[in-house]
Every structure is written in structure tokens, then in C-alpha cells.
A = this chain, B = another copy of it.
Amino acid sequence: MAPPVSGLRELRSRRGEMRSRVELLLMETQARVCRALAQLDGAAAFSVDSWERQEGGGGISCVLQDGDIFEKAGVNVSVVFGHLSEEAAQQMRSRGKTLKTKDGSKQWWFGGGTDLTPTYLNQEDAVHFHKTLKEACDKHGPELYPKYKKWCDNYFYIKHRGERRGIGGIFFDDLDSPSKEEVFQFVQSCAEAIVPCYIPIVKKHCHDSFSPEEKLWQQLRRGRYVEFNLVYDRGTKFGLATPGSRIESILMSLPLTARWEYMHSPPENSKEAEILEVLRNPKNWVH
């Protein structure tokens, strides 16, 4: 199947700008992930929207909807430059770090991550996902995976529920050392890990059957996903607070459907209680 990402190439040539190595890595990763997802789905293609931001920057949003396997799959690249609004800068300030962008001094940092939000726990899948990420991290230092795994568990925390959004992965959002080159190499390894982390899990389960009760639990978990993204996610808050943002791209990650029930609580020893336990008390999946 032809990968439906010709928009990428078009954008690249149309704008005729020099692109940084980081931007090219992002775009290449976007194309690679889209290709893998579209090939797996087989039925639906990605629609590609490229957009420019009047105040500086722009992005490419790739969305597949209503596929045979994927209800909604989104792969986004956004590049925003220019002065940060006070509100947006606040969202980017991590752990007390101050960004100095107003006096014209260049500041760079890198943030990223990948995590998994399954409806039910499958131990084997959790181990595969984390093991693949650990191998990518380990190439750059044995301390990285444990550190970014923990960061991920802390980041995707729905405070008001006392539970995480999913079973984690890795997360980092203000890497600026030891050097640009080393950070770039690390980010590249992580980017290359996305497809082998995720695609085998989808392949393994995409023809599994499910009951109406299981579907309902999925919908409730998606409700929690929405809560996290709208209340806590710094990327979303940054986007909503950045004038000229493309709102459809920012909110693309919201699920097609979600559900909220008052006082829903799964029975003890159920499959639903099993994953809740892991969401409340994250486990180490690889040692």
C-alpha cells in the first residue's frame, strides 16, 4: 500500500526553507509511523493537513479516521516559533526552569516520550513495550530508562483520580544536556523505537473479540484519558494558551467517543480492577 504521506514532501519543497535536523527527524518519524499504521489498517488512509501559524511556525497533522483497525489515529508535528506568551511560557516551564526568550537569547531544550494506555492489562504486552523502550535508552546510558520511566509515571498522573492514564513508557520534557548532539542521538533512538514498541501489540490483538462490558470499560477509560489531556497535559495547555494554534491539531488526540458514569467502581478481582491497581501503583516491567 502506498503511504499516504505525500503532503509531507510537498510541504517540504513548497516552503523551500532550510529545516533543522530536528525538524527533519520529526517529519521522518511522522511519515514512518503513519506508513506503519496505514499499512496495518489496510482500509483507511491518512488525511494530511499542513498549516502555517501567522505568528511563526506551523505543522503537519496526519489523521486516519474510521479504519478497519483504527477508529482514530493521529500523528502530529507542530513547530512553533516566535515569542512565547506569558501563559504559554508558564506551561513550558518545567520544574522551576525559566526560559529566557524575551531578551533574544536562544534557548533550546527537547521534550518527548511515548506511553501506552491499554484498556486491560496484558503483562506480556507491557513487558514488550517497556523492554523495547529500555533497549533504545540503554544505548545512551543505563541510567536513562529508569529515570524517564519514573518521569513518565509521574507525568501521566491524573491527580484528582489518584491514578495514571496508562501503563507508562518514557517521558522527558526539558532535556538540554550533556550536549545538543547527544540529546539529538538519544531522541533519534527513541523515535526509531515507536514503531517496534507499538505495532506488534496491535498486530497481536487487532482481531481479538470483545464483549459489550469490555467496550464500556474502554469508554470509561477513555473518559479518564480526556480528563488527563484537558486538565493536566502540558502540551495541550501550551497549545490552548498559544495564540494562532491550530485547535484541531491540539485536540486531535481526544478519543472518538468517551463515557462518564457516576460512581463507577469495578468489582474486586475483576480484569478492570487488575489494571486499576497498576494505574494506581505503577509496576516495573523490566529489570
Name A's B-contacting residues (CB within 8 A).
Answer: 49, 61, 63, 65, 72, 74, 159-161, 219, 223, 226-227, 230-231, 240, 245, 247-248, 250-252, 254-263
Contacts and interface: CB of A to CB of B under 8 A. Distances in A.
B257 A65 contact: no
Given A161-B247, A247-B160, A65 B226 contact: no
Nearest to A265: B248
Contact of A251 (B49, B61, B252, B260): B260
A219 B257 contact: yes
B226 A262 contact: no
B259 A252 contact: no
B262 A72 contact: yes
Contact of A262 (B161, B252, B257, B261): B252
13 contacts: A63-B263, A65-B262, A160-B250, A226-B230, A227-B230, A230-B231, A231-B231, A248-B262, A248-B263, A251-B260, A256-B259, A257-B257, A258-B259
A241 to B, nearest CB: 9
Contacts of A248: 262-263
A245 to B, nearest CB: 8
Contacts of A160: 240, 245, 247, 250-251
Contact of A261 (B65, B219, B226, B247): B65
A254 B260 contact: yes
A259 to B, nearest CB: 5
A276 B226 CA distance: 23
A26 to B, nearest CB: 20
